[in-house]
Amino acid sequence: MSGSPFRNVALIAHVDHGKTTLVDAMLGATGVFAAHETRVDRVMDSNDQERERGITILAKAASVEWKGTRINLVDTPGHADFGGEVERALTLVDGVVLLVDASEGPMPQTRYVLSKALARHLPAVVVLNKVDRPDARPEEVVDEIYELFFDLEAGDEHIEFPIVSTIAREGRSAVGTEIPAADAGLGPLLDTIVDTIPAAGGDPDAPLQALVTNLDASDYLGRLAIGRVVQGTLRAGEQVALCHSNEEEPPLKRRLTQLMGFASLDRVQVQERTAGDLFVVAGFPEVEIGDTLADVDNPQPLARLEVDEPVLRMTFGVNTSPLSGKDGTLLTSRQIRERLDREVLGNVSIRIGNTSSPEIIEVAGRGELQLAVLIESMRREGYELQVSRPEVIIREMEGTPHEPVERAVVDVPDEHVGTVTQASAPRKGKVTDLRPGDPGRTIVTIEAPARGLIGFRSLLMTATRGTALVHQHHAGWMPWAGELPHRIGGAMTADRKGVATSFALDNLQKRGQLFISPGDEVYEGMIIGEASRPEEMTVNPTKAKQLTNIRTHAKDEAVKLEPPLDLTLELGIEWIADDELVEVTPNAIRVRKRHLTESDRKIAAKQAR
């Protein structure tokens, strides 16, 4: 065992295999949660959406002490959409803990994140979690993990990994594949991490080089730079040079006003951080991700971070509907742009750009889930905006347009395999692998143009009644595949402002699927449903029943309406066509035409020809 006082470790796993729960258990086992403190489940998933969606979106760090060694833990996302966070997290660490469910085995996102770790030659500790499940099969899962390492062409040194079994929920662990004893703690796991993961390297006496991998902001200190000291020593109060992306400009030289490190779940003020350790510094409002903090006398920048390029883009604009301003408090293009500028500072896989209109901003990202999470965050913060349908980013290669390819791995019950293959065929998807998964389930791998898989997740969720598990990641580029089918029915568009009535909706539901209920406010140009035919319809959802003194039949008195489609944010941005927008406010999600009046839509259609 090396005598270094700290280890830097990333936790990587498929979604829902218990990674964040294991962090909670490690914090508890090392005394971070004192006896008098209230225990918080999934303490690392502090973002509201992380808790609701049950996923980790942001890479975060915590620190625990074990037998005199500090272990810096970095919790990483499992979704490929948040690959920018994964890449940055792996630059901070010297090894990984690969967490795998002892029943499900390695899954698609395990492969994605592990491939990134192996590319950086990081050693792994394999943890089999949930070994107490009745359907646990630890020996078979270990064989599958070896197969995964072989598939990823791992070197011999990577394949000789230690194996630890855990029941993270109860804070128990054991070396090997045995179920941990009832009185076992997490000592075996923590000992294995300290023994296996190499001590953080770097010469503390060499000229300073520290890589900035993340950004944060403080009301009191301004912009904070988070990263790792590669070599040398960072000292509070000393002058350092900031090497930024424009290499032609001389480095900025400034005194470090504040230096912090990670301790448990907190950031604490420290006097120095030596080579290999993680840092948080204040005093550089200009700092960006990928910059280097360097020696003043000999500033040598490190190689900048490279992350997967965005493959989808959409526009964010000011809400121009007649109902704008009723819910939100942040409405102007300046406020929206400032919020997106803040997002880009800390999110390397999001890009923003200008359009022909100052009120509309182009936003590009890794996938529709990532963009939907950003929009959802903004609406919760009080923003109102309208967004377009995502479109893929085209790249010219060898003189021909190429589009991104996505690989979708779909885990479904056996009876729905046909549904998956039928749904992928019109989207120009090819089934590249078909193999059995858990008992009664099949794993289908499909490769298709990225735009063909927009809406694919929602379609499968509906068709399989929520039993499908879909995971997507970027799989290269292909020549433009031509036109792809979109939705089946045309839009039912309201022709006037008012309040929807039961009488009107009862007549309209016979002609398609409604998105609204009686009593909902509508406006001209708002889409209130999807017609059962491809043709678009302009309808009056506010029409009231004419009252007469003639007694009507009993069936006319009791209108029975089908429940409207629950229009979620993801469903909305997948459903709309190019001439439509999703209106997003803190309390409502609506779909609408870009041009609200029928006359404006006719003029726009003529100009588009």
Contact assessment for residue 451 and residue 478, using Cβ atoms and an 8 Å cutoff: no
Report the percentage of the chain scoring pLDDT > 70: 85
CA-nearest of 567, 531, 594, 572 to 390 is: 572
Q: How far is CA 99 from CA 12, 64, 524, in A?
A: 6, 18, 52
Give residue 162's identity as a one-letter amino acid code: P
The C-alpha angle with vertex 310 and arms to 338 and 315, in degrees rounded to 5, equals 45
Measure the CA–CA gap between 347 and 364, rounded to whole angstroms: 11
Q: Is 429 helix (H, G, I), strand (E, B) or coil?
A: coil
Q: What is the pLDDT of residue 199?
A: 83
Q: What is the pLDDT of residue 82?
A: 40
- DSSP assigned state of 264: B
- Helical pair 108-119 and 138-151, crossing angle rounded to 10 deg: 50
For 54-80, how does the pLDDT look when each residue is reduced to its tens digit (9 = 90+)? 333 333 467 788 888 888 887 665 444
The mean pLDDT of 478-498, rounded to a whole number, is: 85
For 506-516, how does the pLDDT look when each residue is reduced to its tens digit (9 = 90+)? 888 888 889 98
Q: What is the pLDDT of residue 574?
A: 81
pLDDT at position 39 over 50: no
Strands 498-499 and 521-522: antiparallel
pLDDT at position 101 over 80: yes
For 217-251, how does the pLDDT look when each residue is reduced to its tens digit (9 = 90+)? 666 777 778 888 888 888 888 888 888 766 667 88
Taking residue 553's Cβ as centre, other Cβ atoms within 10 Å add up to 6
Domains of the chain: 6-196 (3.40.50.300), 209-294 (2.40.30.10), 395-479 (3.30.70.240)
The mean pLDDT of 540-558, rounded to a whole number, is: 66
Q: What is the pLDDT of residue 78?
A: 44
The C-alpha angle with vertex 457 and arms to 378 and 586, in degrees rounded to 5, equals 20
Q: How far is CA 360 from CA 163, 313, 524, in A?
A: 52, 13, 22
Summary mean pLDDT of the chain: 80
Name the token pair of 326.
């009723």
Q: Is 124 helix (H, G, I), strand (E, B) or coil?
A: strand
Measure the CA–CA gap between 127 and 470, rounded to whole angstroms: 24
pLDDT band at 160 (very low <50, low <70, confident <90, very high): confident
Q: What is the pLDDT of residue 347?
A: 67
Name the token pair of 216.
């944060």
Report the percentage of the chain scoring pLDDT > 90: 8
Measure the CA–CA gap between 217 and 298, rounded to whole angstroms: 29
Long-range contacts of residues 505-508, Cβ cutoff 8 Å, at least 24 apart: 505/541, 505/559, 505/561, 506/559, 506/560, 506/561, 507/543, 508/539, 508/541
Contact assessment for residue 437 and residue 477, using Cβ atoms and an 8 Å cutoff: no
CA 342 to chain centre: 17
For 309-364, how does the pLDDT look when each residue is reduced to its tens digit (9 = 90+)? 788 899 999 999 999 888 888 889 999 998 888 887 766 678 888 888 888 999 99
Measure the CA–CA gap between 577 and 168, rounded to whole angstroms: 45
Measure the CA–CA gap between 516 and 514, rounded to whole angstroms: 6
Measure the CA–CA gap between 473 and 77, rounded to whole angstroms: 13
Measure the CA–CA gap between 363 and 312, rounded to whole angstroms: 8
The mean pLDDT of 125-134, rounded to a whole number, is: 87
For 550-576, how does the pLDDT look when each residue is reduced to its tens digit (9 = 90+)? 555 544 556 788 888 888 887 888 888
